[in-house]
Structure 1
């Protein structure tokens, strides 16, 4: 489906993505992990054509993605929807209108100016919100929702595009553990039920292991690991993050049980000192 061949992106003297080569041959859920600055976000932006590669190739079903221009580029961007860490919603606009923004690429300029949507699209938007468990919030302003709810609205907007690929850039980085689990469960269901490829930049190893079929590890712009969640051992994680023997996975865990256990230990330690 999606093939990367020596993909490279330079920003002046800095190489953000360096000779990345791998392929995704069927719909799956892929997690990309690595430290800040590893090149994860830049890679997703290249896929969606939000930024251009310096060199290399990117093909989707044999089609040259990097060579697309004009209408063809916009069509491609509608086929690989982006979900961002900070949601990128219009805060003062109602939820259903935010979702309907997923249709902007196929609407006329006049319809966009006057905020006119076909009845069928409105029904589809509400059905998607219902699927994500937030249909009752459709008439509310987006800013009135919690962070987890807003991220589900962003997912609904992406689904409104009916994409082949969903790109999620740190989709749970700003969420609490409960909402992080709800959002990741939703992305996993979308992959399984719809057969869509989901590529998510993740900052926690337990999330990558639990939800992904495949994990890509990046360090300093390079792919340094490509394997199954079972192959992502603590030793491998140390290599990906360039960490020493003191590296602890629990410090970055989004698991509710792990966080509660860590909090309990901290309380016991404080009580012992007191």
Structure 2
């Protein structure tokens, strides 16, 4: 169970996250929606401890996440697989090595420097790439892949550390609609097949309705909606995004549902 109590983040007088409380009692696929600057990314980064909270608590099972330091903090970050908007891959390295970098905190610096990974990790990385339909690209440099392919590599890298949950920060913001659908399908599979919590920052209402069980709406750092995805009405959307927005079914978001899915240097093992 993930519990957040009165969580606040203040950046020089700007309340990016303002007294947020929520709980996740069982594995769910949760979309966090809102305008840019609503506090969505800061919230995820505090859960992962990339940002330290100004005040409040984050608890997961018996772990007081908000108070972790040093090795315990790094161990927690390994339990929260993070997927970023801009992929954060190493462009000059091949795909399978990028995936194995998800376990970098478990490897010696010497082995990582010379691409010396245990055989079982190489096989695990290949299995993950095969699972998400990109094993044929494993020997290519990461920068030779499309944006959608790179994001699936980033998802594989996050899963490499066998996290308790996956946090995805605007994972489809830089993708075309077809690759956006492919990426969201991959995240949904992690929830359905691995029984993991997936928290995903999103902009579009249709995407949240289609792929998420629950939606959290944020505005000006506060939670203004928390409920099932099918409760995302026009009135709720206006509360989240502002009364001046036009929320017709055809204009609120890019419809990725009607598009077809495309899911369909060598590492030395020691």
Q: Same fold (TM over 0.5)?
A: yes
Residue 17 and residue 245 in structure 1: after superposition, are their counterparts in 2 closer, same or farther (change >3 A)? closer
Residue 256 and residue 166 in structure 1: after superposition, are their counterparts in 2 closer, same or farther (change >3 A)? closer
CA distance in 2, matches of 1:67, 1:257: 41
Number of the residue aligned with 1:120: 120
Number of the residue aligned with 2:91: 91
Number of the residue aligned with 2:30: 30
Residue 142 and residue 252 in structure 1: after superposition, are their counterparts in 2 closer, same or farther (change >3 A)? farther
CA displacement at 1:79 relative to structure 2: 0.3
Q: Is the 8 A contact 1:184 1:211 kept in 2?
A: yes
Q: Is the 8 A contact 1:205 1:249 kept in 2?
A: no
RMSD: 1.4
3-state DSSP class of the match of 1:250? coil
Query: Structure 1 residue 13 and structure 2 residue 18: aligned?
Result: no
CA displacement at 1:92 relative to structure 2: 1.2
CA distance in 2, matches of 1:197, 1:112: 29
Number of the residue aligned with 1:270: none
CA displacement at 1:235 relative to structure 2: 1.1
CA displacement at 1:200 relative to structure 2: 0.1
TM-score under structure 2 length normalisation: 0.93
Number of the residue aligned with 1:233: 233
CA displacement at 1:13 relative to structure 2: 1.1
CA distance in 1, matches of 2:195, 2:105: 22
CA displacement at 1:246 relative to structure 2: 3.0
CA displacement at 1:71 relative to structure 2: 1.1
CA distance in 1, matches of 2:74, 2:245: 46
Aligned length: 259
CA distance in 2, matches of 1:167, 1:246: 29
Deviates more, 1:109-118 or 1:190-199: 109-118
Deviates more, 1:29-38 or 1:239-248: 239-248
CA distance in 2, matches of 1:258, 1:154: 25
CA displacement at 1:210 relative to structure 2: 0.7
Query: Unaligned stretches of 5+ in structure 2?
Result: 260-270
Q: Is the 8 A contact 2:246 2:252 kept in 1?
A: no
Deviates more, 1:209-218 or 1:244-253: 244-253
Number of the residue aligned with 2:193: 193
1:127-160 residue CA offsets vs partner (Å, 9 max, x unmatched): 0000000000000011111000000000010010
Deviates more, 1:81-90 or 1:62-71: 62-71
CA distance in 2, matches of 1:216, 1:254: 19
Number of the residue aligned with 1:180: 180
CA distance in 2, matches of 1:90, 1:133: 20
TM-score under structure 1 length normalisation: 0.92
CA displacement at 1:70 relative to structure 2: 1.2
Q: Is the 8 A contact 1:203 1:252 kept in 2?
A: no
CA displacement at 1:69 relative to structure 2: 1.1
Number of the residue aligned with 2:266: none
CA displacement at 1:244 relative to structure 2: 2.2
Number of the residue aligned with 1:208: 208
CA distance in 2, matches of 1:199, 1:40: 10
Number of the residue aligned with 1:221: 221
CA displacement at 1:257 relative to structure 2: 6.8
Number of the residue aligned with 2:132: 132
Larger Cα-atom Rg: 1
